[in-house]
Amino acid sequence: MKIYISADIEGITGIVDWNETEMGKDDYIPFAEQMIQEVKAACEGAVNAGAEEIWIKDAHHYARNLKINDFPTSVKLIRGWSGHPFCMMQELDESFDAVIMIGYHSGCGSNGNPLAHTLDVSNVQYIKINDEVASEFLINAYASALVGVPVVFVSGDEELCKNVIHLNENIKTLAANKGIGNSVISIHPETTVKLIKDGVELAINQGVHQCNIKLPSSLKIEIGYVQHAKAYRASFYPGAKQLSVNSILYETDNYFDVLRLLQFVL
């Protein structure tokens, strides 16, 4: 069995401030360590469920938060950004049996996490797919569906977990944090580690195919920018058009086109 793990940090237990996410800041160190522990727990749960090969995408900021020596020898770790449109899901293909997402967070426009955003922290007001505000989970879950690999487990904030279950109630989730305004209520980090390990094992053992997600047959993408000049520039991407002063619209029936769009206009 071959498992893919995509790891972010804004949904890691207890995190509440941008300084806790940025390499080089003193506040970052304990949360980077907690990120490692939560990803390790996912690996342990997957191995207990029969995984023989695990690939991890370090998918936060510079993508240099995780170190290969922290993980089992069955792991391959992807660090840095290749520029491929799969982005946070780089190297995912049909050879994998299941996807796990650790440390994910609510998308822009949500109050479920003080650090809620989607892909671009400073320039994007919202990304909508078929009129639904999209989180990084949704964007990456659709990427997984594009290659026929189910997402079986997601950890992060409570609001995100509700969105995951709304998409497919069979996907196992763990809410490590609950966002309230500019604060979070979190469970104990050791509890998170245990629940991730047990949850991943259960998610794989329950049968991964019931977690499959169906891609929409047609896709309408709307992106709202903070600065009107960003929208103007992005409107020249092939197939895109300016919808308003601060937004563009793009339509396609191929989800890879969407991923390619996001790679070039954000």
- What is the sign, positive or negative, of the torsion defined by CA atoms of 251, 255, 257, 261? positive
Q: Which residue has the tokens 């840095």?
A: 80
Burial-class residue 149 by CB neighbours within 10 Å (0-12, 13-18, 19+). buried
β-strands 75-78, 53-58 pairing: parallel
60 annotated ligand-binding residue = yes
One of 117, 166, 188, 209 is an active-site residue; which one?
117
End-to-end CA distance of the chain: 35
105 annotated ligand-binding residue = yes
136 annotated ligand-binding residue = yes
**C-beta separation of 131 from 195 below 8 A:** no
10 annotated ligand-binding residue = yes
Alpha-carbon distance of 15 to 34, in angstroms, equals: 10
| Catalytic residue flag (residue 188) | no
How far is C-alpha 39 from the chain's CA centre? Answer: 13
Q: How many CB atoms lie within 10 A of CB 152?
A: 31
- Between CA 10 and CA 2, with CA 52 as vertex, the angle to 5 degrees is 60
**C-beta separation of 43 from 5 below 8 A:** yes
CA distances from 96 to 100, 169, 177, 247 (A): 11, 21, 29, 36
Strand partners, 153: 100, 172
Catalytic residues: 117
Binding residues: 8, 10, 60, 105, 136
Binding residues for Zn(2+): 8, 10, 60, 105, 136
